[in-house]
Amino acid sequence: MKIGFIGLGIMGKPMSKNLVKAGYELVVFDFNKAAVDELAAMGAKAAASGAEVAKECETIITMLPNSPHVRSAALGANGIAEGAKPGTVIIDMSSIDPVESKKISEELAAKGIELMDAPVSGGEPKAIDGTLSVMVGGNKATFDKYYDLLMVMAGSVVYVGEIGSGNIAKLANQMIVAINIAAVSEALTFAKKAGASPELVYQAIRGGLAGSTVLDAKAPMMLSRNFKPGFRIELHIKDLTNALNAAHSINAFAPLTAQLMEIMQTLKADGCEKDDHSAIAKYYEKLSKVTIEG
């Protein structure tokens, strides 16, 4: 099966590499020529635009930063719609506003192009090892058809419902992740301030009810002062912006998410927006005048 792949960033590049390794024939496009060249060196074919990708592929994966980028890639100048045949399927694995997913889907459907929204969770490490969690919205028969393809990049692929449902699930995920990272940061800062070893406190609590994937992934980064981005704060701000906008539109109450947005905006103002979201710890450290390290 020939697959188009548009968007070779921090997530898209390792995801596309896993498809090549699995034997899929890929046609790739990104504005970053170095990333395209890297995939071409592995055997993928480089394309000059999304329209060129669509001329060669009836299945196209997009992995892009936000809603405007997806709209542009799908419907803009030299975009997928310009080169696509009726029956083309776009699997958008970006994390975007679910309302916009539905709008883009409707506009593509008028051109005979089907869209599934299939955002992912797990960050760069899981993109590299092919164990992402994928949450999918769209036509169930289409989901079934592409399940095996998605599983090449994932450890879990779950159908959530109609178009937009994948991004609703992703926003719920991002709300929970941000709040959990803040809880870990707050607790470990408390431990340090109280005179205990944050490392030993972490080891003591990880096997109990406080244990979680977030705790095991992010506490070691805080303890070692390693804020190299697996998922940047600026991208989490984007997701929480979409989450709050969606919540406000349906009168859903999200006070903890709003508080995390303010914490992340403070970190952005301090120049930390390129850090991993585990750097939420820096907010607590600054206020408490301690560092979690050690």
Residues tagged active-site: 170
Query: Which structure tokens are listed for 52?
Result: 């060129």
* Alpha carbon distance 121, 166 (integer Å): 11
Query: Which structure tokens are listed for 263?
Result: 């914490």
CB atoms within 10 A of CB 43: 12
* Alpha carbon distance 286, 224 (integer Å): 17
Residue 115: φ, ψ to 5°: -120, 135
3-state secondary structure of 175: helix
Q: Please say whether the beta carbons of 159 and 97 come within 8 A.
A: no
* Alpha carbon distance 153, 149 (integer Å): 8
To which H or E segment does residue 141 belong? helix 140-151
Q: Please say whether the beta carbons of 15 and 127 come within 8 A.
A: yes
What would the DSSP string read from start to end of 247-275?
HHHTT---HHHHHHHHHHHHHHHTT-TTS
Query: Which structure tokens are listed for 128?
Result: 């590299």
3-state secondary structure of 147: helix
Strands (E), the chain: 2-6, 25-29, 45-46, 59-62, 89-92, 114-117, 120-121, 132-137, 154-161
Angle between helices 233-249 and 98-109 (to 10 degrees): 80
